[in-house]
A = this chain, B = another copy of it.
Amino acid sequence: MVMINSAQEFPGFPTPLQPMNQSSKSDIETIMRELGKKARAASTSLAVASSDQKRTAIISAATAIDENAKHITEQNDLDVAAAHERKLSSAMIDRLKLDEARVAGIANALREIAKLDDPVGSIIAQWERPNGLDIQRVRTPLGVIGVIYESRPNVTADAGALCLMAGNAVILRGGSDSIHSSTAILQCLKQGLEAANLPEDSIQLVPVTDRAAVGEMLRGLDGNVDVIVPRGGKSLVARVQSDCRVPVFAHLEGICHVFVDASADVSMAVEVVHNAKMRRTGICGAAETLLIHQDIVDSHLKPILDRLSEAGCTIHGDESICKAWPAAEPASQEDWSTEYLDAILSVKVVADIDEAVAHVQQYSSGHTEAIISEDAESVAAFFNRIDSAILLHNASTQFADGGEFGMGAEIGIATGKMHARGPVGVEQLTSFNYRVRGAGQVRP
């Protein structure tokens, strides 16, 4: 395995130390359209690549990452130094930072992706018609995926490998903050592609840091991008959803609800609500609002809120909550539509399942909701009447995750109702077509 010493070894790839911010609009358009064309060409080869080839590429990339760990962390140091200079927040710098353990984690994540079942070519459905025609619905790659992300350099590897496993070419547009780290990781992915004899354009990183490049991707690069996946904060996702002319797999936010029904087991409610809110507060599947049935305020509310409070959670309650549990701060109207991503929970008393459903229908972001209940009828109403991507009964909202679903690595969670919904894993990055076998049938 060749060790990579500097980005300059890749001819034609812009030196990351000189981001092309000075490029003119039309230069960027030309560069981006060229990336699109190359991705489309690569996707044609990828569509017929064998599972072995794709796995070889991904495993070889993991090896290259291990072998080039020192180079990657050195390049990452440059990004981190620049981030300090630009006075980025410590949270952002932490997301950006790669140490040896994190680099090893990136390599291992690739090895996990290489173990996934290859969806391409799998038969989703098959049936025979009375005239003898045999019809198969077969998974096919989507084509070209555009991934737009922020500072986490691991996305370069994860997203690149996941798209590749599904037979798609990918155009990665990372944040300028992580350009050195991402470039170093990309070089390892390219080594993997080369080892598997797959087109090097299967995984491309946008070489310009100018924001106009994102605009070009959102316009679809002359039809050479089939879907865009934004990975990042709300403002990034909102821009992509508003401006994108191609389909988007995304969720804008996760305003996830837990409804504790009248029939709920109190200790289960305490544990599930605590986990849904506090296990990790910064993820999209974290609960942001608790709805509690009025009949169990006396019995269930105190243990639930005490447990949260002991764990450091602030409660924003409606009037009834503030009365029943005086440590609560009064909730404003805005609380019901706020994704805190922090140790804060809005809490409201509802009269019945109908009011709970109505509240969720009004304020949910369509991501994940849970009901804690021992009453089958309430659960059925909750499941049938709420149209969020993921509905849970007697389980924590923090299970909203491709890995937890047994679907393997995910490129994100989608709240749209078209094509992919919920965790977007390797299978959701495919399309399908129909393959019909006959013996000379003609249509009467």
Q: Which residues of A contact B (CB under 8 A)?
A: 44, 47-48, 121, 127, 129, 133, 135, 140, 142-143, 226-227, 247, 265, 268, 271-272, 274-276, 279, 361, 383-385, 387-396, 398-399, 404-406, 417-419, 421-422, 431-443
Contact = CB atoms under 8 A, between A and B. Distances in A.
Contact of A436 (B44, B276, B393): B393
A171 B426 CA distance: 34
Of listed A129, A140, A395, A437, residue having the most chain B CB within 10 A:
A395
Nearest to A381: B48
A438 B395 contact: yes
A402 to B, nearest CB: 11
B442 A396 contact: yes
Contact of A275 (B135, B392, B442): B442
Contacts of A418: 142, 226-227, 247, 418-419, 431
A442 B140 contact: no
**Interface of chain A: mostly helix, strand, loop or mixed:** mixed
Contacts of A383: 435
Nearest to A227: B418
Contact of A433 (B121, B390, B434, B441): B390
B394 A440 contact: yes
Contacts of A143: 387, 417
Of listed A121, A274, A361, A417, residue having the most chain B CB within 10 A:
A417
B435 A275 contact: no
Nearest to A280: B443
A234 to B, nearest CB: 17
B422 A419 contact: no
B393 A437 contact: yes
A279 B443 contact: yes
Contacts of A129: 404-406
A433 B272 contact: no
A392 B364 CA distance: 44
Nearest to A401: B443
Given A227-B418, A385-B47, A395 B432 contact: no
A142 to B, nearest CB: 6
Instruction: Please name the 5 residue pairs, one residue from A and one from B, whose CB atoms are nearest each other, closest first.
Output: A395-B438, A275-B442, A417-B431, A268-B440, A419-B419
A320 to B, nearest CB: 26
A241 B279 CA distance: 44
A433 B421 contact: yes
Contact of A443 (B133, B384, B391, B396): B396
Nearest to A441: B395
Contacts of A434: 389-391, 405, 421-422
Given A361-B44, A436-B392, A279 B226 contact: no
Contacts of A439: 394-395
Contact of A133 (B142, B227, B384, B395): B395
